Amino acid sequence: MPLSPEQQAEIDALRANPQPTLRTVAPGMEAHLYRAHQVLDHGFVRVIDYMGDDAAITQAARVSYGKGTKSVQNDEGLIRYLMRHWHSTPFEMCEIKLHVKLPVFVARQWIRHRTANVNEYSARYSILDREFYIPQPDALAAQSSVNNQGRGEVLTGAEAERVLEILKSDAGRSYDHYEEMLSQDGQQGLARELARMNLPANIYTQWYWKVDLHNLFHFLRLRADAHAQYEIRVYADTICNVVKDWVPAAYGAFEDYRMGGATLSSKAIDCLRRMLKGEKVTQETSGMSKGEWREFSEVVG
Amino acid sequence: MPLSPEQQAEIDALRANPQPTLRTVAPGMEAHLYRAHQVLDHGFVRVIDYMGDDAAITQAARVSYGKGTKSVQNDEGLIRYLMRHWHSTPFEMCEIKLHVKLPVFVARQWIRHRTANVNEYSARYSILDREFYIPQPDALAAQSSVNNQGRGEVLTGAEAERVLEILKSDAGRSYDHYEEMLSQDGQQGLARELARMNLPANIYTQWYWKVDLHNLFHFLRLRADAHAQYEIRVYADTICNVVKDWVPAAYGAFEDYRMGGATLSSKAIDCLRRMLKGEKVTQETSGMSKGEWREFSEVVG
Amino acid sequence: MPLSPEQQAEIDALRANPQPTLRTVAPGMEAHLYRAHQVLDHGFVRVIDYMGDDAAITQAARVSYGKGTKSVQNDEGLIRYLMRHWHSTPFEMCEIKLHVKLPVFVARQWIRHRTANVNEYSARYSILDREFYIPQPDALAAQSSVNNQGRGEVLTGAEAERVLEILKSDAGRSYDHYEEMLSQDGQQGLARELARMNLPANIYTQWYWKVDLHNLFHFLRLRADAHAQYEIRVYADTICNVVKDWVPAAYGAFEDYRMGGATLSSKAIDCLRRMLKGEKVTQETSGMSKGEWREFSEVVG
Amino acid sequence: MPLSPEQQAEIDALRANPQPTLRTVAPGMEAHLYRAHQVLDHGFVRVIDYMGDDAAITQAARVSYGKGTKSVQNDEGLIRYLMRHWHSTPFEMCEIKLHVKLPVFVARQWIRHRTANVNEYSARYSILDREFYIPQPDALAAQSSVNNQGRGEVLTGAEAERVLEILKSDAGRSYDHYEEMLSQDGQQGLARELARMNLPANIYTQWYWKVDLHNLFHFLRLRADAHAQYEIRVYADTICNVVKDWVPAAYGAFEDYRMGGATLSSKAIDCLRRMLKGEKVTQETSGMSKGEWREFSEVVG
């Protein structure tokens, strides 16, 4: 990124020729098709295809629940009801296909979401490009002292400079050596499937990723969360903005019940009821561990 | 089936208003959208939505294999190569959503294919219609005497008449009693989730079923096979005809390598080589069991 | 049920000969192995095999989180932490295999949980037994007038008698006809795969069902819930009692965070904070729908 | 590898105390439990737990097929029948849990097999060890000139030396810099989740991997194949040796029908029949592409 003139021309060509279809069309999504949303320094997310819209969710629910759904007055109300009661199958009736370019260490987290279809660029068949993720200065954070998997303050001064210098020079040298090992100029040339092992985890890869809306929401709940690693969260945030335009009612319900919601344990519910009756509850009298009490306190404000 | 005037009018309305889209359009599939293909006496298969076409398969493969795919000259050749070498992920990039009406005992076989999304009409929420599968006379077969799960000759005469009479009268009586138990006329009325237990397995249900092309091919290989039960095979055959119009190149490869193909064991390959060298091989000298030898003989003709 | 003398003898034999193993052994589970826990009138749940215990969960978590898990003092605390933060993979490291006998209409709900392995008794190959679920009088409930998928009051008097009489006589007649159609006495005999279509949904089937602990908890959360249909809930309750003996710490966390917990939307959290500050909030001022407000009121007591 | 004295002591302790169980015990597998089978220079495969044996496969099949399975005389015959006819569910009734240490680029291929449970060592929480895969001289191969994803001849002389020197020095330098960035000695110390991005793909990671036997066979068919990358094939080969001791009958059927078998297209079957009738068939008269003909020729020898 930015896109090469050839890539932009290809996208423009794909966007120039709408064709008639009898399928459901989601106007908000058509505006996104093929366009590259930049993420990090060289990454992107592009919508390649989609199936369904908000109405496809309620249509499937009405097959299932028949006359039973008449009591819910309208589509948005029904979608909110389905989300609230964890009815997952109607949301599975929508599907999205994305083209994503992302650093390998992000891809390794992402792929753990198993219920999706993936075609990744293969470094056995092909040669990877010289593109590495180098964090912006404000993303260069120290290890958190309170959270084993978190970040603390942003690095400053000479330390930040040293880190950036290391990341850049190691990536460059590794790639120079990758090319040198592959070269068939005056030598045999190492197999691509072996040479790639020299490349660091911040090199970019790309894939097509296809997933249904239910599983996408599950991905977004975990990866657009404040505890997710920043470098995958920016991808999730970008996808959230796309989904909001695609299925606005479902996304609204997702925001309310999942992203902005919280799960309380039976102990927490018990404390809550005591507090609502006017009791002053502390961690000691709550029956909760310190960690759980801290999280509970954040919920009740 | 046949469709009610209301249903036909709804289908006509859905088919009357094509809208522009930037997505891939498969013309052969547009012709199928929403139309009901009749199956058995009251069942049908309708395409509700689809994603992708033959080109979407090769596009995904080219993301994966990059320049490596250049050696395969064209799309059809690449699709045949992918099918031959069991590369499943590019085929997963196409998706189809069907509306199917089918007898419950067929639905019970069908649902064992786990990698799909389903919304079934719920008899907890709603009342099932009075529609039962009653076989045509030529589908009324005796138990096979050689195959534990197969059919033998078609029943004839008084026996066939008795069977049809039983199936019809038991279905009718069960449904009468279903309605009688549900009725709130002068009584409380049994809960729907209980009353349904009186209904036999030939009553019709319906669902939305969404699946990717790779898993659909797996379903079709097993269910369009000569050993599948006739009542599910007719659904699979109907879907085959739809898929042929949707992704003709992929379907052609599927027919050649899967439906018309055969898998040989290492013992079978050994026999084959001996036969090609002119040796006369018998079951006794083959090292195979009787069953395996019979299947091998069918392959080599 | 009750078990035949032959079945009981087989179970006794299986339980008589412990063998040495180097694998993890869960003593609470050994006491359950092979024994049939009766469910409904003819059904049962039997543990056939299991893998892992509470320690297997923390062992897997420690592979993942390494030194990061040291801050959690002990195994039970770690398991509660994992459950609270939706870390599902460590729970997937335990596996259970059950033999279940259940009515077909229960099996149809159960099988919708796709992430499990199943081998069901096949009525294409074999003849089903003459065993039907006939509800106990106190399970014979009317349709709920407020909940489309629920039950209301228990039926009484003549209506209850009529319903029981219908269920019994229709089941008996259907089975008589099933046998009559299958019979090869003086006739060809209908194929088993066809004859079965005459059998009602309260006939018993059986299967082996194998699932990991994470997916089992998901099943139990939905099916041991007060809104689940009674006839599947009694199976889920029976399994809960088994799991409690198998992995007591994980089951305790499941009870606290899932079964006894509740999920609040962002709107609900907002209301809660206002209430804790002393504001009197009503449905009208809550921003919630009536249904959502009713559910929220149940949580806050 | 080799194991540290502490690791060996832990394994010895785990192996020292067999406990009684009522579950199925596979003696061949007990001999493998916990032992580390070395793979590559620092990797290993260890069996942590297992469920089932050959008899568990036939037991599940007999639940499904009831009396229908009586025609198959014995367990081994039944297992061969199930494998030949692609009956996958009985094989899913066995489960294995492995602890694997492997280079990251191997892990990236491995994880594409989605139907498995995984807990991987997290470099967000913990610091990776200084262990890198450096190929043995005879595994240092040139790019194949005929196969886009294959290897050609082994590198020799100065080129081989240069490649090894590059791999070693780049790995060492990257790890030095990883430690330097993490260090909190006189500086803040970069977050672990960021520092890891500097590490190359030949660094070792480890995970617990749990999978059922059907899906394991699918993995082994693809990864123990001659076309798989050598570095994953050695893991698959190691697992094959374990499986052979665990379920000898199932493994024998797998070898015969999958590893040593071949799939023929309908075109190939047609050619075969013509050849068996004495016709001389060439690629030109076969209707096959060059690639397909070459593969067919290898089968018929």
Instruction: State CA C21 to chain mean position distance.
Output: 30
| B10 pLDDT tier (thresholds 50, 70, 90) | confident
- Candidates C87, C221, C256: best to mutate against A (most CBs of A within 10 A) is C256
- DSSP class of residue A58? H
Reference C163, options B126, B188, B122; nearest CA is B188
Pair B126, B61 in one domain: yes
Provide the percentage of residues in chain C whose pLDDT is more than 70.
Answer: 96
| CA separation for the pair B212, D263 (Å, rounded) | 23
Task: Give residues with Cβ within 8 angstroms of D212, minimum separation 6.
Answer: C117, C210, D91, D92, D93, D94, D95, D96, D115
Residue A237 has pLDDT above 60, yes or no: yes
| CA separation for the pair D79, D251 (Å, rounded) | 10
CATH number of the domain residue A14 falls in: 3.30.1360.170
| CA separation for the pair C127, C203 (Å, rounded) | 12
The domain tally of chain B equals 3
Reference A190, options D108, D202, D164; nearest CA is D164
Pair B215, B124 in one domain: yes
Chains with 3+ CB–CB pairs under 8 A to A are B, C, D
- The pLDDT of B240-250, averaged and rounded, is 98
CA distances from D299 to A136, B277, B292, D268 (A): 56, 14, 19, 10
**How close D38 comes to chain C (CA, Å)?**
19
Q: Name residues of chain D where pLDDT drops below 50.
A: none
**How close B206 comes to chain A (CA, Å)?**
8
Cβ A170–D193 below 8 Å, yes or no? Answer: no
Strands (E), A52-168: 95-103, 117-120, 141-143, 151-154
**How close B148 comes to chain C (CA, Å)?**
5
**How close C88 comes to chain D (CA, Å)?**
10
Active-site residue, from B46, B80, B196, B223? B223
Contacts of D177 in chain A (CB under 8 A): 166, 170
- Candidates D82, D85, D112, D148: best to mutate against B (most CBs of B within 10 A) is D148
| A73 pLDDT tier (thresholds 50, 70, 90) | low
Cβ A266–C275 below 8 Å, yes or no? Answer: no
The nearest alpha carbon in chain A to D159 belongs to: A187
Q: Which helix (H) or strand (E) holds D42?
A: none
Annotation says A108 is catalytic? no
Provide the percentage of residues in chain B whose pLDDT is more than 90.
Answer: 86
Pair D2, D64 in one domain: yes
Pair B128, B211 in one domain: yes
Structural domain range at position C176: 135-201
Its pTM stands at 0.96
What is the count of residue pairs from A and D with beta carbons less than 8 Å apart? 151
Task: State the pLDDT at residue A138.
Answer: 93
Task: State the pLDDT at residue C73.
Answer: 64
Pair C116, C207 in one domain: yes
- The pLDDT of A30-55, averaged and rounded, is 97
Of B200, B215, B247, the domain-final residue: B200
Pair D236, D125 in one domain: yes
| Minimal Cβ distance to D68: which of B149, B273, B275 | B149
Task: State the pLDDT at residue B72.
Answer: 59
Task: State the pLDDT at residue D215.
Answer: 98
The CA-CA-CA angle for residues B291, B294, B297, to 5°, reads: 150
Pair B67, B96 in one domain: yes
Contact B40, B133 (CB under 8 A): yes
Pair C297, C271 in one domain: yes
Per the model's pLDDT, the better-predicted residue between C200 and C291 turns out to be C200
Task: State the pLDDT at residue A168.
Answer: 98
Pair B11, B65 in one domain: yes
Amino acid at D249: A
| CA separation for the pair B260, B84 (Å, rounded) | 13
| CA separation for the pair B72, B77 (Å, rounded) | 6
- The pLDDT of B28-37, averaged and rounded, is 96
Contact B33, A22 (CB under 8 A): yes
Chains with 3+ CB–CB pairs under 8 A to B are A, C, D
- Model confidence pLDDT, tens digit, residues B57-76: 999 998 876 655 555 568 89
Pair A51, A99 in one domain: yes
Task: State the pLDDT at residue D10.
Answer: 86
Residue C68 has pLDDT above 60, yes or no: no
ipTM of the complex: 0.94
Reference C191, options C178, C203, C204; nearest CA is C178
Strands (E), C90-203: 95-103, 117-120, 141-143, 151-154
String of DSSP letters for A119-149 = EEPPTTTSPPPS-B----GGG-EEEPSS-TT
| C2 pLDDT tier (thresholds 50, 70, 90) | low
- The pLDDT of A81-97, averaged and rounded, is 95
Residue A197 has pLDDT above 80, yes or no: yes
- Candidates A125, A140, A143, A154: best to mutate against D (most CBs of D within 10 A) is A143
- The pLDDT of C15-26, averaged and rounded, is 95
Pair A155, A179 in one domain: yes
Sign of CA dihedral D180, D186, D191, D194: negative
Residue A206 has pLDDT above 90, yes or no: yes
Cβ D90–C119 below 8 Å, yes or no? Answer: yes
Chains with 3+ CB–CB pairs under 8 A to C are A, B, D
- Other C-beta atoms within 10 Å of A13: how many? 10
Radius of gyration of chain C from Cα atoms? 24
Tally of CA atoms within 13 A in the half-sphere of D67 that contains its CB: 9
- Model confidence pLDDT, tens digit, residues C106-154: 999 999 999 999 999 999 989 999 999 999 999 999 998 877 778 999 9
Residue C69 has pLDDT above 80, yes or no: no
Pair D124, D38 in one domain: yes
Residue A49 has pLDDT above 90, yes or no: yes
Reference B121, options B131, B113, B112; nearest CA is B131
Residue B79 has pLDDT above 90, yes or no: yes
Reference C78, options C96, C64, C95; nearest CA is C64
